[in-house]
Structure 1
Amino acid sequence: MDCWYWWSRYGNFSPGMGNLPHMGEVIAFYRAKRYKSQTEFAIASGFSKRSVEEWESSVFTHDHNRRIFLAKMLRISPALLGLDWRLVFFDNNKGEYRDPFPHMIDLIEEDAYYAYEDILVMGHEYIHNGGPIDIAYRVDRRLRKLIEITRNTRAIDEDAWKSLLCRYYQLSTRIKQQCLMDDAVASEHAALAVELAIDLQDAELMASAFVNSACTNTQQGQLDRARKDIAAAMECVDKVRNGPLKGNIYLESANINTPFAIDDSKLQNQCRAWQDKAANMLYKGMLEPDESFFRFNLSAVHHEKAKSLLHWQKARDSRQAARSKITVALETLSPDLNVWKAYYYMTEAHLNLADHDLEGSAQSGKEALKVARAMHSRMEEENVRNLYYQLKEQAPNNPYICNLGIELGIF
């Protein structure tokens, strides 16, 4: 299967403006279904052939009323032209209509698919930047409904809804793991996403699902399973576009294999090679957008390198390189990725702990806790709690450590 977009079930259209398909290709596709030529359609529509040529060559048709007209005349699904189905179906603002009922069903179904896409985007923004915890439960409710829709959809639309369901399972995995600390359901949904992706034989969807599962297993301490998952994702890497997903495959491959490379110089070199591949993608630029919702930037590369060095470097002087990397990671972090600060501060806390700077470790942990709570990340809050217990064992009366405990509600 070629690259899958939300509109792929309607036609093999190129990406257009925003998250819409190339409108000219859409119009040409539907025009060819109903009229033999542009000339014939021009006569039927009352416009010139040149106008038809312009519509079919434009990436985006800016005239809103023209899009409504074309959707009605060519029976184009409204979402393909960036329209709400009500604008096409109803004849006026009183809700009066003349279209047959089956056509209304098609329009409503398409509008529902588009709405699910919007909720998917909203859910991933919640993962990256936080928000009301209610969003997590809304995604859960939508997922349950989506399972039912996919089970009962028409054969012609089945792959499209399965693809959407696969991506919802991936989103749900992250919410269950990071925000709700429900390991069992997170693992279940990660596995279901992999199963759907394999069924669809979509290389990018499979790679994304395997990375998602690998991250989940890593967070749950199932490192052998994580290695198996990330190896499966790596098998798809050459079929994946040069975008965020590919970059994350390289970074997660290094991250997951790092603990296994402590006494294995060959594996250390391989991890560095993966990290360098990710960095080179960014340095060369021209990244292609994909449908994975992964974020990928140089800040992440510096952070992953810092984590690897923290594992491998035994001497304090050697760990200075890791400290330098985490500093650069924090300095280059974009403001739309607030939750990453918690990860970075935790890495800094462990660096300080390795250097026996207990006060510095507690302070970094406190910064991570602030971000975790703002982002509603129970997983990161639990990581701070575990750090506190480590620090408490070494210096139970240290005031900075005691203060971290108070912030955690531990007295």
Structure 2
Amino acid sequence: MAQAHFKVRNFSAALESCNHALQNDLSEDTKIISLKRRCLEQLAQQNCQDKVMYDVEIGFLLPRKLFSTTKLKILNIPVPESITDTFRTNETNPVNHSKDHDGQFYSIPESVKKRLFGGGGLTKEYDELSKTLNGLSIMIRKPAIELISYLNQTNFDAPVPRYVLYGKTGTGKTISLAHILHYGSCAGFVLVHVPWVPVWFRFPKGVTPSVAHPNKYDHPIESVEWLRHFSTQNGSLMQNLELKTTETYVWSKREVTAEGSPLSELIDLGLNRAKYATDCVAALLGELKKAAMSKRCRILVVIDGFNSFFSPKSRVIREDRSFVMPTEFVLTDAFLTLTRNDWNNGAVVVSVDSLAHPTELRESPLPRYQLGKQGFEHLDPFIPVEVPNYDAKEIRSQIDYYIERNWLQQPKARTERGRAELSFTSGNNPYFLMKLVAPY
């Protein structure tokens, strides 16, 4: 498409220059030429005869600093719909997201991002990209829409439904969970969120033998971090619910959490006394489960990399050089207790990911393979929800988003041929597309 920039004092000169710039463009549509003529004529009628810079680009004539697309529409000029009208939605409440919003982006305020994802929940690359692009936006995709539809229709008097997200690496399982996490926050759920299970078994910051549970091991530092994450996500809601303990917890001769104490005391004890943090997590989850069953709160459990709980390997080594299995940790028992379906007034959404397993156990993304026999039997029955690669509408929206944020500045990306090349080269995989467009 021909491009030209003009500084003119009258619209007749602009029209003449415009036509001259388009003479060598054989692909120019006569309707576009007519549109440009009408644009100039309409502007001339508005007595806009000042010195103006004009852009002839991608088939449209837009005067800089003078008329926006909106103002041209006021002049009854048929300006084609901009990309922001097609790939974004103004519906920022995920409770209301439906099929009508499929493939569109919605924005999450910075304050909400810090509260929900300050302790994790977004991939490192996506978090850095959102900072670079000056704001977190999430695409509303079919898996999340399906889950939101299920959750909106849930019978909370029945045993908790369990949903398992699965899919190939890079398809967006973590971002779909982030969408569901935001939904749970807006819908008034108490959030029990584990951002990424494998870090507890691959790169622990400290593991100690459990005093309260023989032959088990604690994660003191990770437990403190998780309690802080839980408190940040649910702080105001927990204050309003005023949940209290249903039994007495004896930590030492001097430290006791009496029956009827606010659950915030359990959290504060764990934050201030790392030695007891893991047991505080287990006690907190048990109390939340009881509170949900007694209709005092509603819980949404969201766990990314759930299959790591059943992984046959870890990097934690005992003194005798033998490996500690993931099933031998107190945190594993605590969260597996909450993912059983022996309680109600809640929901469980987890993901299984090949990256949560060792390299030799990544042959298939399907839940049966990822969970293994023990994990599959633990969750059965559950509803599997596949997170696939982008479809045609989604990848177009994603490219439009990158263009709109000036992350993708290659002019050919605006053409159908350029989009087709990006689609083919990335295989419509969200992660590969993000990496592919970064240099451009």
Q: Does TM, normalized by the shorter one, top 0.5?
A: no
Greater relative contact order, per chain length (Cα 8 Å cut-off, separation 6+): 2
Larger-gyration structure (1/2):
2
- Normalised-by-shorter TM-score class: under 0.3
Q: If the length of structure 2 is used for normalisation, what is the TM-score?
A: 0.26
Structure richer in strand, relative to its length: 2
- With normalisation by structure 1, the TM-score equals 0.27
